[in-house]
Amino acid sequence: MMTEFGKSLGIKETSIPGLLILDLPVHGDSRGWFKENWQREKMLALGLPDLGPVQNNISFNDEVGVTRGIHAEPWDKFVSVASGKVFGAWVDLREGYSFGKVFTAELDASKAIFVPRGVANSYQTLEADTAYVYLVNDHWSPTAEYTFLNLADETAAIKWPIPLENALLSEKDQAHPRLIDVVPMKAKRTLVLGANGQLGLALRKVMPEADFVTRSEFDVTDEAEYKNFPWKQYSTVINASAYTGVDAAETEEGRASAWKTNVTAVGWLARACTENRIRLVHVSSDYVFDGTSSSPYSEDSSLSPLGVYGQTKAAADALVATVPKHYILRTSWVIGEGNNFVRTIASLAERGIKPSVVNDQIGRLTFTQDLATGIHHLLSSNPEFGTYNLCNEGPASSWADIASRVYELTGHNPGDVTGVTTAEYFDGKEGIAPRPLWSMLDLSKIEATGFTPERWEVRLQEYLA
């Protein structure tokens, strides 16, 4: 990429993961020089993380040999020099395989460096009247987690241009611990809301290292919970909490509850994730469509929900889409631990009941095992943010088809299942929500990321076994 001055802006990786050094074009003439010190659009295009600075700090140093550090803070920094020159040293103090790794470089007006959270920063001035500038993406707090390393640590073995005994150091910096005594900065974690639901239980198996929060521990419908929660400890939130009473949502009380849980609360969550630069994963539904299509719905298909539940899920999708880093997983006919269609049909088979089951609603099952694995895949592979359909692969089938298969797999006569239309099944019943008759989802987008869900027939057999 070229600037208007014909000089290249460049970003290079360093030996420390996530620590990026930038070449900044500088234009000069007899009057002095000019540079674009921070240019978000161009820098992001070259791979710089979206810093989102909220504070700009400047450290002015009168003399040569001023040495500061080594400090690691729980936020990202974009460091540059406005005047003068520094020798910079960075040490990875994050928990993990790269702990203790060192990188050094000289910075002047033509160089900048992106310092990720937990990588310790230090510098030594090589010229008088040096102005050291840094943007940070969080406000300083006395209660934040900080980690420090001694400037003279023998393990890091930083080769300071001016020996430390001849440099200008603060007493505080001289008192920092050696590497062997440093407490590594822990990585930000993943939070799962709705820990005891069908998806939450599946995520426990796929992502055991995450923090799982139940409704009793975090009431998603209480706005005060969002204001008091330690969001800065997390890099990802998976929202597996939702109001799922499709028919109950059509009642006066249920309608209010559905909107508060599925829309108002999601709005609070979206705001918290945006303000704290958190990646948000949200689970949507085939009910955002009216079911009148004749081909599988893509992620870009127009939303047209029929009932209250579908309307709340569609509204939530719009709110989550405003979060800069988001994945919306649109799914259908979810089966996991707990009460669900497959368990109900298996119970009817064991009791010798010959049920009537709807045969004009067409779709595919989604087993929470695959939904949870698909979420983990997206978080690990980091494809483009946005909406992804995710259900199990396999043929388009009706609820009656699936019920017959359940009867067969449990050793009963599949002919005991009678197919009826949705209109016939609900005839005479009140308070029934409208159902989309077509719930087939196009999986090509998520499969292009390298994840192909198992066929629903295979998962059904495993589930019943």
Which residue numbers are catalytic? 71, 134
Given a contact cutoff of 8 angstroms between Cβ atoms, the answer to whether 132 and 59 are in contact is yes
Distance between alpha carbon 352 and the CA centroid of its chain, in Å? 46
- Report how far residue 184's alpha carbon sits from residue 334's, in angstroms, rounded to the nearest whole number: 41
The helix (H) or strand (E) run that includes residue 2 is none
Q: Which of 346, 343, 336, 341 is nearest to 358 (CA)?
A: 341
Q: Which of 298, 297, 262, 301 is nearest to 282 (CA)?
A: 262
Helices (H), 207-303: 223-228, 252-259, 265-275
Dist CA 232 CA 325 (whole Å): 15
Distance CA 60, CA 357 (A): 76
Distances, alpha carbon 84 to alpha carbons 80, 262, 313, in Å: 11, 54, 55
Q: What is the DSSP string of 298-326?
A: PTTSPP---SHHHHHHHHHHHHHTTSSSE
461 C-beta neighbours (distance < 10 Å), count: 13
Side chain identity, residue 355 = P
Q: What single string gives the DSSP state of each residue in 148-204?
A: E--TT-TTT----SS-GGGSB--HHHHTPPPGGG--PBPPPEEEEESTTSHHHHHHH
- Listed in sequence order, the residues at least 6 apart from 203 whose beta carbon sits closer than 8 Å to its beta carbon are 192, 210, 212, 238, 240, 372, 375
Give the burial class of 375: count Cβ atoms within 10 A of its Cβ; 0-12 exposed, 13-18 middle, 19 or more buried: buried
